[in-house]
Amino acid sequence: MATQSADKSAPGGAGSGGRPRLMLLDGHSMAYRAWFALPAENFSTVTGQTTNAIYGFASMLANTVRDEQPTHLAVAFDLSRKTFRSEEFPDYKANRAKTPDEFKSQIGLIHELLDAMHISRMSVEGFEADDIIATLATAAAAEGFEVLIVTGDRDALQLVTEHVTVLYPTKGVSELTRYTPEKVAEKYGVTPSQYPDLAALRGDPSDNLPGIPGVGEKTAAKWVNQFGSFDELVSRADEVKGKIGEKLREHLDSVKRNRVLTELVRTVELPLGVTELARAPFDREAVGQLLESLEFRNPNFRERVYGVDPAGAELAEEVAAAPGIAVEGTLLTEPGALAGWLAEAGNTIGTGLIAVAAVHQWSLGTGEVGEIALAAGETAAWFDPTQLTEQDERAFADWLADADRPKALHIAKQVIRAFAERSWTIRGIVADTALAAYLDKPGRRTFTLDVLAEEYLARSLAPAEVAESGQLSFDAPEHDPTAGAQALMAQARAVLDLAAFFETRLAEVGATGLLQEMELPIAELLARMERTGIAADREWLTTIESQFAAEIQRVVGEAHAAAGHEFNLGSPKQLQEILFGELALPKTKKIKTGYTTDADALTWLATQTTNELPVILLRHRDQAKLRTTVEGLLKTVSPKGRIHTTFNQMVAATGRLSSQDPNLQNIPVRTEEGRQIRRAFVVGEGYEALLTADYSQIELRIMAHLSEDAALIEAFESGEDLHTTVASQVFDVEPEAVDAEMRRKIKAMSYGLAYGLSAYGLSQQLGIKPGEAQGLMDTYFERFGGVRDYLHRVVEEARAIGYTETLLGRRRYLPDLTSDNRQRREMAERMALNAPIQGSAADIVKIAMLNVDKALVGAGLKTRMLLQVHDEIVLELAPGERTDVEALVREQMAGAYPLRAPLDVSVGVGPNWEEAAH
CATH of the domain at 703: 1.10.150.20
Reduce the DSSP state of residue 569 to 3 states and report it.
coil
The enclosing domain of 52 has a CATH number of 3.40.50.1010
771 vs 752: CA distance, rounded Å: 17
- CA–CA dist 22, 70 (Å, integer): 6
Same domain assignment for residues 73 and 180 = yes
Of 440-454, 602-616, 830-844, the one with minimum mean pLDDT is 440-454
Tell me the average pLDDT across 302-325: 61
- Return the pLDDT at 19: 87
Per the DSSP assignment, residues forming a β-bridge with 908 are 692
User: Is residue 200 within 8 Å of 255, Cβ to Cβ?
Assistant: yes
Q: Is 715 helix (H, G, I), strand (E, B) or coil?
A: helix
- Report how far apart, in Å, the C-alpha atoms of 212 and of each of 201, 241, 432, 501, 750 are: 6, 15, 71, 66, 66
DSSP secondary structure code for residue 651 in this structure: S
Q: What is the largest CA-CA distance in the chain?
A: 114
Residue 256: pLDDT over 80: no
Nearest alpha carbon to residue 905 among 713, 652, 692? 692
- Distant-in-sequence, close-in-space partners of 187: CB < 8 Å, separation ≥ 6: 179
pLDDT digits (tens, 9 = 90+) for 658-712: 999 999 988 888 889 889 999 999 999 999 999 999 999 999 999 999 999 999 9
Q: Residues with Cβ < 8 Å from 260, sequence gap 6 or more?
A: 88
Residue ending a domain, choose from 643, 661, 684:
643
Note whether 688 and 879 are within 8 A (CB).
yes
Measured CA to CA, the distance from residue 870 to residue 914 in angstroms comes to: 16
Query: 711 with 729: CB under 8 angstroms?
Result: yes
Whether 526 and 549 share a structural domain? no
Between CA 693 and CA 916 the distance in angstroms is 9
pLDDT the model gives residue 251: 65
Q: What CATH number is associated with residue 585? A: 1.20.1060.10
How many Cβ atoms sit within 10 Å of the Cβ of residue 246?
A: 11
DSSP code of residue 362: E
Residues 523 and 555 in one domain: no
Residue 666, judged by CB atoms within 10 A of its CB (0-12, 13-18, 19+), counts as middle
Q: Is residue 594 part of a domain?
A: yes
- The answer on 277 and 149 residing in a single domain is yes
Contact status, residue 840 vs residue 812, Cβ threshold 8 Å: no
Burial of 275 (0-12, 13-18, 19+ CB in 10 A): middle
CA distance readout (Å), 294 to 48, 112, 289, 302: 10, 12, 9, 12
- Other C-beta atoms closer than 10 Å to the C-beta of 332 total 25
When mean pLDDT is compared across 14-23, 451-460, 526-535, 725-734, the lowest value belongs to 14-23
- One domain, residues 462 and 564: no
Same domain? 712 vs 783: yes
Residue 661, in any domain of the structure: no
Is residue 198 one of the residues assigned to a domain?
no
SS3 letters across 413-425: HHHHHHHHHHCCC
Same domain, 547 and 520: no
DSSP state of 45: -
Residue 907's DSSP bridge partners are: 693
The pLDDT of residue 616 is: 96
* 24 and 135 fall within a common domain: yes
Distance of alpha carbon 290 from alpha carbon 112, whole angstroms: 8
The CATH code of the domain that includes 461 is 3.30.420.10
Binning the chain into helix, strand and coil, the percentages to the nearest 5 are: 55, 15, 30
Mean pLDDT, residues 386-399: 95
What pLDDT score was predicted for residue 318? 42
Element (H, E) at 624: helix 613-636
Calpha distance 186→54 (Å, rounded): 34
- Overall domain count for the chain: 4
Q: Is position 85 within any domain?
A: yes
pLDDT at 759: 85
Q: Is residue 694 part of a domain?
A: no
Out of 95-104, 188-197, 418-427, 631-640, which region has the weakest mean confidence (pLDDT)?
95-104
pLDDT for 90: 67
pLDDT bin (cut points 50, 70, 90) of residue 239 is confident
- Per-residue pLDDT, averaged over 338-343, amounts to 92
With respect to residue 673, please indicate whether it lies within any of the assigned structural domains. no
Q: Report pLDDT for 477.
A: 39
Looking at the fold, whether 443 and 591 belong to one and the same domain comes out as no
Q: Are residues 402 and 499 in the same domain?
A: yes
Cα torsion through 822, 824, 828, 831, rounded to 10: 120
- The closest of 60, 17, 12, 2 to 35, measured between CA atoms, is 60
Cis peptide preceding 662, ω within 30 of 0: yes
pLDDT band of residue 464 (cuts 50, 70, 90) is very low
Question: Mean pLDDT across the chain, nearest whole number?
Answer: 87
- Per DSSP, helices labelled H in 251-350 are 252-262, 284-293, 299-307, 312-320, 337-348
Task: Give how far the C-alpha of residue 65 lies from the chain's centroid of Cα atoms, to the nearest Å.
Answer: 28
Rounded to whole angstroms, how far apart are CA atoms 687 and 370? 34
CA distances from 353 to 287, 330, 342, 406 (A): 29, 18, 11, 5
Q: Report DSSP state, residue 577.
A: I
Decide the pairing of beta strands 407-409 and 429-432: parallel
> Does residue 907 contact residue 891 with C-beta atoms inside 8 Å?
no
Range from 540-549, 713-722, 868-877 carrying the lowest mean pLDDT: 713-722
Q: Of how many residues is the chain composed?
A: 918
Q: How far apart are CA 645 and CA 529, in angstroms?
A: 9
For 423, residues 6+ apart whose C-beta sits below 8 A from its C-beta are 397
Q: At what angle do helices 449-457 and 481-508 cross, to 10 degrees?
A: 60
C-alpha span between 41 and 600 (Å, rounded): 21
Q: What is the pLDDT of residues 113-160, one digit of tens each?
A: 999 999 999 998 888 889 999 999 999 999 999 999 999 888 899 899
90-119 core/surface letters (b: 16 or more CB in 10 A; e: else): eebbeeeeeeebbbebbbebbbbbbbbbbb
Amino acid at 795: V
Look at 77-86, 682-691, 800-809 and tell me which has the smallest mean pLDDT: 77-86
Q: What is the pLDDT of residue 530?
A: 98
Question: Between residues 292 and 11, which one has the greater pLDDT?
Answer: 292
CB 184 within 8 A of CB 157: yes
pLDDT value of position 345: 81
**pLDDT above 70 (res 316):** no
> Averaged over 225-250, what is the pLDDT?
72
Count of beta carbons in the 10 Å neighbourhood of residue 473: 16
Q: Domain range spanning residue 66? A: 2-184+264-285
More confident site: 6 or 528 = 528
Domain boundary among 477, 504, 533: 533
The mean pLDDT value for 203-231 works out to: 72
Written in H, E and C, the secondary structure of 789-841 is HHHHHHHHHHHHHCEEECCCCCEEECHHHHCCCHHHHHHHHHHHHHHHHHHHH
Asked whether residue 422 carries a pLDDT value surpassing 70, the answer given is yes
pLDDT, greater one: 145 or 464: 145
Weakest mean pLDDT among 1-10, 117-126, 189-198: 1-10
Q: Report how far residue 399's alpha carbon sits from residue 244's, in angstroms, rounded to the nearest whole number.
A: 94
Q: Output b/e per residue, 19-48; b: 16+ Cβ within 10 A.
A: bbbbbbbbbbbbbbbbbebbebeebbbebb
Count of H helices and E strands in the chain? Answer: 36, 26
| 524 & 584 share domain | no
Q: How far apart are CA 784 and CA 96, in angstroms?
A: 48
Residue 642 has pLDDT above 80, yes or no: yes
Distance CA 132, CA 120 (A): 12
DSSP 671: S
Q: How confident is the model at residue 4 (pLDDT cuts 50, 70, 90)?
A: very low
- Reported confidence tier of residue 589, pLDDT bands at 50, 70, 90: confident
458 and 406, same domain (yes or no): yes
- The amino acid occupying position 601 is A
Question: Domain ends where: 479, 506, 533?
Answer: 533
Q: What is the pLDDT of residue 457?
A: 84
Do residues 494 and 461 lie in contact, with contact meaning Cβ atoms separated by under 8 Å?
A: yes
Tell me the Cα Rg of the chain: 34
What's the Cα-to-Cα distance from 69 to each of 103, 278, 346, 770, rounded to whole Å?
Answer: 29, 12, 49, 59
In 161-314, at which residue ranges do the beta strands (DSSP E only) sit?
164-171, 175-179
- Residue 143 sits at φ, ψ, to 5 deg, of -95, 10
On whether residue 25 sits in a domain, the answer given is: yes
Structural domain includes residue 858: no
Report the alpha-carbon distance of residue 425 to residue 432 in Å, rounded.
16
**pLDDT for the residue numbered 325:** 41
Asked if pLDDT for residue 825 goes beyond 80, the answer is yes
